[in-house]
Amino acid sequence: MKLLTKKLAAQLQRNARQRRAAALAHGTPDPDPLPVMRFFNPLGSASWLATELDEDCILFGLADLGFGCLELGSFALFELEAIRLPLGLGIERDIVFEPVLPLSVHTYAARQCGANVTAQGKLAMADSALRARQKDR
C-alpha cells in the first residue's frame, strides 16, 4: 500500500503552510488542525497521526511506538516506508480513519490513556475535558 497519496500530501502541506503563516503573521500559537491520516503497525500497537508534511517529506503529528511514551513531533515518511515486519508486512495507512477532532484532542486523550486513541467515546471525553479547562482560564 502506498502510504501517501497526492491528495493526502496536498492536505498535509496545506496544514504546514497555514501553521507557518499564522505564526509569522500574528505570532499566535500554532493552528490546531485535524489529523489528516493515521499510520499503524498491523502486527503491533504503534501508530502515528499526521497533520503536516514539509518539503523534505518530514511529517508532523503524534507518534506512539507502543511503549506508553507518546511524542508530539516530527517523523520521516521514508522511515515509515522502510519498516519491514514479519510476514512481508510493513506500516499501513488506516484507510477508514476519518478525523473529526483536532490534534490537541487526540494528544490529550492519548496522554490520558497512554496510547493513541481512535475510540470516539474517549475522544469525545477528552474534547469535553479540554473545553472545560479552557473555560476555567
Domain with 64, as residue range(s), is 6-97
CB 66 within 8 A of CB 44: yes
pTM for the full predicted model: 0.83
83 belongs to a structural domain: yes
Q: What is the mean pLDDT of residues 11-26?
A: 84
45 belongs to a structural domain: yes
20 belongs to a structural domain: yes
Instruction: State the Cα–Cα distance between residues 93 and 4, nearest whole angstrom.
Output: 8
What does the pLDDT look like over 48-101, one tens digit per residue? 999 999 999 999 999 999 887 889 999 999 999 999 999 999 999 999 998 888
44 belongs to a structural domain: yes
Question: Structural domain tally of the chain?
Answer: 1
36 belongs to a structural domain: yes
43 belongs to a structural domain: yes
User: In terms of residues, how long is the chain?
Assistant: 137
